[in-house]
Structure 1
Amino acid sequence: MTRTSLLFSAVFAVITFSTHAVASDQTITQASHIQSGTYAVEAGHTQIGFSVLHFGFTNYFGVFSNASGTLELNAQSPASSRLSVTIPVASVQTTSTQLTDELKSPQWFDAAKFPDATFVSTSVQMVDQNNATIHGKLSLHGVTKPITLHAHFVGAGVNPIDKKYTTGFDATSTFNRSDFGIKTYVPYVSDAVTLRI
């Protein structure tokens, strides 16, 4: 991801951002020391994992890929930071080819009609030095509702491969899919969805 002047739990996922600016080779572990600026989401290292409770027996997992977006990061004034992420719904994958195809259908996500899910932040509140609560709006399946992300700063520094200044975060959220009109098999497949970005 380059500087331009920045669904769903046991699946590990992280959003990484990078900028062309040069910094020291030392990894930063305190969010207040991150380089402020506008970062682009790095699709190749960003995963969105989700889980639902399947018939009360197991937590079933899936992932989305090819996310894009921006983080306008102000390390000195985190509350003024802004995050926007777009997820192509047709990128959904599970361990079952049949289920993966079904999830793209009108019965579930209806990817042809609603090709993208988007999250746009409305406020950022620091919880402690490396954790924040990000309130925002999720647009999914033609419906927009507020959700909250619980974000954790992982690290920042110059990527040794591409020499770009990079910062990484992960975030979690739980919401009800029926709020977005996705009600298939509720309650046998849980309404509650756990999301990790």
Structure 2
Amino acid sequence: MRLILAAVLAAAAVPAIAQAPAGLPGSANAAAVTAGTYAVDPAHTQVTWTLNHMGFSMLSGQFGAEGGSLTIDPKRPAATKLDVTFAINKLSTTSEQFKHHLESKDFFDAATYPTARFVSTSVVANGNRAKITGNLTIKNVTKPVTIDATFVGAGTNPMSKKLNFGFRGTAMIKRSDFGLGYALPVVADDVKLDINAAFTAQ
């Protein structure tokens, strides 16, 4: 879970967090992001979740984006709107057996609830960072979530010739809040979300 935003950072970004290596078409130049509505780039947007598995190890999996948009006006960063849908029915793990269990009714019930969604409700920008608060919906349960986001970079994609930009972010949720309480407390309730989000001009 979006979630989630970089343009927000773009709107108020000060000197870049780091200069991009020579040769990369994008750089941490927030001024390159102009006002408008941008489409989520599903091929380059990922949400990785991680939790403690029985106290023995940390376990991760990943969702990709199904679609969505980010609307931003650099002169009004607080008005930024993010809406992203994630493909629960296309989750990725290192084990097919584990993947099928996660898709079952014990967890996500992906056949009934194939997607999750994050919709922002407020954005507070501070330099190249932002706190993006919004509503995350999983299995028809909606809860507030805050993403700590950092602008990565922007520039013209040499393949599409369109402006692309992105951000990375983190958030914490409790899986039990979304009806995902199977195996509690043997498997941890707290889940860390690591978000890599990419956007492209439409």
1:100-119 pair list within 5 angstroms: 100-119=99-118
Contact 1:82 1:121 (8 Å CA) reproduced = yes
Residue by residue, what CA displacement relative to the aligned partner does 1:121-159 show, whole Å, maximum 9, x if unpaired? 000001x21100001000001200101011110000101
| AA partner of residue 122 (structure 1) | T
* Residue 189 (str. 1) matches residue 187 (str. 2): yes
Per the TM alignment, residue 61 of structure 1 is displaced from its structure 2 partner at its CA by 0.6
Query: 5+ residue gaps in structure 1?
Result: 1-6, 18-24
Q: Counterpart in 2 of 1:120? A: 119
Which portions of structure 1, spanning 4 or more consecutive aligned residues, are displaced by more than 4 angstroms?
A: 13-17
Q: Percent of counterpart pairs with the same letter?
A: 41
Q: TM-score, normalised by structure 2?
A: 0.82
Q: Aligned-residue CA RMSD in angstroms?
A: 2.3
Looking at structure 2, the residues matched to 125 and 66 of structure 1 have their Cα atoms a distance apart, in angstroms, of 23
Structure 2 equivalent of residue 161 of structure 1: 159
How far does residue 31 in structure 1 lie from its aligned partner after superposition?
A: 3.0
Aligned residues: 179
CA apart distance, 1:102: 0.6
Secondary structure of the structure 1 residue equivalent to 2:60 = strand
Change (3 A) 1:165 1:75: same
Q: TM-score, normalising length from structure 1?
A: 0.84
CA distance in 1, matches of 2:5, 2:97: 28
Higher relative contact order (CA 8 A, sep 6+): 2
Tell me what 2:66 maps to.
Answer: 67
Partner of 2:200: none
Q: Specify the alignment match of 1:81 in structure 2.
A: 80
Deviation, structure 1 residue 15? 8.6
Can you give the 5+ residue segments of structure 2 that lack an aligned partner in the other structure?
8-23, 196-202
The amino acid across from 1:80 in the alignment is A
Q: Is the 8 A contact 1:30 1:129 kept in 2?
A: no
For the pair 1:42 / 2:37, whether they are aligned, the reply is no
Residue of structure 2 in register with 1:143 after alignment? 141
Equivalent residues of 2:61, 2:93 under 8 A apart: yes
Of 159, 165, 176, 2:174 maps to: 176
- Worse-matched range after superposition: 129-138 or 180-189: 180-189
